[in-house]
Structure 1
């Protein structure tokens, strides 16, 4: 019998309403060659405000990642919040899976909306895309904030025991869980104080709505992030850059943040505190 209620879909509807009420509208851009990206953009662009691009991580789409902070950010910026490829309503039929390709697509969306310069905040995987955007399009990115983004990781770090998993397959199994048991494991890794007592039916609903679509493609994104990665190959960027980290982050351990010695670095007990700090400072 079909489900008559979905907690995750209900949250999606609430988030859409929240984004719209805050002053954003849903927009889809066809970039050609089978690539389509969805992005939340300002209903009314205000030239007096700077632009801000928010890039989500792999554990959520744009709405789930940024809903809590949309209203305060919009008070200061013209905000753009895309779904990265294979999340939300963004996809491609092209074979590329690198963060470089994601960054090129994000740049294409911004240009389609007339954005020539922007500040960028990227969380986790979104930080990899943000860094690549700054490296490939230096004239577009004014300032950069990386939140818990291990851009300086190397492929050997996983084998050396830096992460809670030993292989890409293990990483995929908890980043995109397919059973309630795996959701519990994911919550223990991703959250400092996880709600592991959530009913299994809610966990299964979350899996059905958020973790089953584009599973193979998302697996390839994680693999591309890790494969043959060397810190020595990380391009240098010259934009003012701030690094903020969750003190207890297990997905990308704090030690990775300390490798980025060129940039100001702040660690917080919870990532939420880091974003509050970001809101209280000049982005």
Structure 2
């Protein structure tokens, strides 16, 4: 797992781990926050597995596995004591899982737009435009050009009017290699 880390860990500053949501990499999500936060915190910003420069050959894909990997990165960085964790969107699920699995290591937790209390009933009641968690996953991790178009329509205020299927198919093929 790739992780941006301070050059030296200052024992007098608290440790803060920023965990990104779906996106290209952690710095894409948190770049604007690094400068104001690094003066007050030992800041660690990992790329979750399958995002940015983080990969694995292991078959696990759950947020609890991601949480164990983030904890392992912190161990590899020789960070001892408690750490505060902030997770955004999918990163909130990972942060929540870290706090549940490692209560002795995680101090404060900040969850932004994480939906950790989301239930199937919320989908059924029409709270979202999808009917199930599986349908949401199909949109967020599209495997067909039509699902890519659906993601674009949901993600952009003014989505591109035309996106050729061949471009979308190439995007899917490249994304599936990781």
What TM-score results when the alignment is normalised by the length of structure 2?
A: 0.81
Distance 1:145 1:172, change over 3 A: same
Q: Cα RMSD over matched residues? A: 2.8
**1:100 pairs with 2:64:** yes
Aligned pairs (5 A) from 1:156-195: 156-177=121-142, 179=145, 181-188=149-156, 194-195=157-158
1:52 corresponds to which of 12, 16, 20: 16
Deviation at 1:141, TM superposition (A): 0.8
Q: Does the 8 Å CA contact 2:6/2:43 hold for their aligned counterparts?
A: yes
Note the residue ranges of structure 1 that are not aligned, 5 or more in a row.
Answer: 1-36, 189-193, 218-283
Q: Does the 8 Å CA contact 2:120/2:133 hold for their aligned counterparts?
A: no
**1:125 pairs with 2:90:** yes
Structure 1 outlier segments of 4+, above 6 Å: none
Q: Does the 8 Å CA contact 2:23/2:51 hold for their aligned counterparts?
A: no
Aligned pairs (5 A) from 1:9-158: 37-116=1-80, 117-158=82-123
Give the Cα–Cα distance (whole angstroms) in 2 for the partners of residues 44 and 54 of structure 1: 17
Per-residue CA deviation, residues 159-180 of structure 1 (Å, 9 max, x unaligned), is: 3322211234532343235656
Give the Cα–Cα distance (whole angstroms) in 2 for the partners of residues 42 and 86 of structure 1: 23
Give the Cα–Cα distance (whole angstroms) in 2 for the partners of residues 48 and 211 of structure 1: 47
Deviation at 1:155, TM superposition (A): 2.9
Deviation at 1:198, TM superposition (A): 8.7
Give the Cα–Cα distance (whole angstroms) in 2 for the partners of residues 46 and 211 of structure 1: 43
Distance 1:90 1:49, change over 3 A: same
Deviation at 1:71, TM superposition (A): 1.1
Distance 1:195 1:48, change over 3 A: farther
Give the Cα–Cα distance (whole angstroms) in 1 for the partners of residues 161 and 26 of structure 2: 23
Give the Cα–Cα distance (whole angstroms) in 1 for the partners of residues 173 and 54 of structure 2: 15
Note the residue ranges of structure 2 that are not aligned, 5 or more in a row.
Answer: none
Higher relative strand content: 1
